[in-house]
Amino acid sequence: MKLGGLKPVDDRRIIERVLDGDTEAFNFLVRQWEKPIYNFILRMIGDRDEAMDLCQESFMKAYRELASLKDRDRFSAWLYRIAHNTCFSRLRQEQGKTFVELAPDTSSVRMPIESQLAVEKALQHLPEDQREVVVLKVFHSLKFEEIAAIQGAPVSTVKSRLYMGFEKLRSILG
Amino acid sequence: MTHIKDKIAEFVFEELSPSEMAGARQHLAECDDCRRQVAQLQHTYTILKAAPDVEPPRPVIFEFERPARLSRAWLWLSPAGAAIAASLLTAILMRPVPEPAPVLDQVVVEQSREIELLRTQVDYLERLQMAIRRDTMENTTSIQQLAEKTRVQTQD
Which of A41, A102, A137 is the best mutation test for B, with the most CBs of B within 10 A?
A137
A42 contacts in B (CB within 8 Å)? 54
Which of A35, A41, A45, A54 is the best mutation test for B, with the most CBs of B within 10 A?
A35
**CB-based contact (8 Å) between B105 and chain A?**
yes
Q: Chain B, 26-85: which have a CB under 8 Å from a chain A CB?
A: 40-41, 43-45, 47-62, 64
Shortest alpha-carbon distance between residue B94 and chain A (Å) = 27
Quick: pLDDT tens for B94-116. Answer: 666 665 555 556 767 777 777 77
Question: Mean pLDDT across the stretch A125-141?
Answer: 96
The answer to whether A8 and A54 are in contact (CB under 8 A) is no
Minimum-distance CB partner of A55 among B41, B53, B56: B56
Minimum-distance CB partner of B57 among A48, A111, A116: A48
CA–CA distances in Å: residue A142 to residues A132, A146, A150, B34: 11, 6, 10, 24
Which of B34, B54, B65, B106 is the best mutation test for A, with the most CBs of A within 10 A?
B54
**Interface predicted TM-score (ipTM):** 0.82
Inspect the interface and report whether the beta carbons of A105 and B57 lie closer than 8 Å. yes
pLDDT: which is higher, B133 or A37: A37
Shortest alpha-carbon distance between residue B105 and chain A (Å) = 7
pLDDT: which is higher, B149 or A149: A149
B49 contacts in A (CB within 8 Å)? 138-139
A24 contacts in B (CB within 8 Å)? 64
Identify the band that residue B130 occupies on the pLDDT scale cut at 50, 70 and 90: confident
Three-state helix/strand/coil letters over chain A: CCECCECHHHHHHHHHHHHCCCHHHHHHHHHHHHHHHHHHHHHHHCCHHHHHHHHHHHHHHHHHCHHHCCCHHHHHHHHHHHHHHHHHHHHHHHCCCCCCCCCCCCCCCCCCHHHHHHHHHHHHCCCHHHHHHHHHHHCCCCCHHHHHHHHCCCHHHHHHHHHHHHHHHHHHHC
Quick: pLDDT tens for A52-97. Answer: 999 999 999 999 999 999 998 899 999 999 999 999 999 888 765 5
Query: What is the structure's pLDDT at B141?
Result: 81
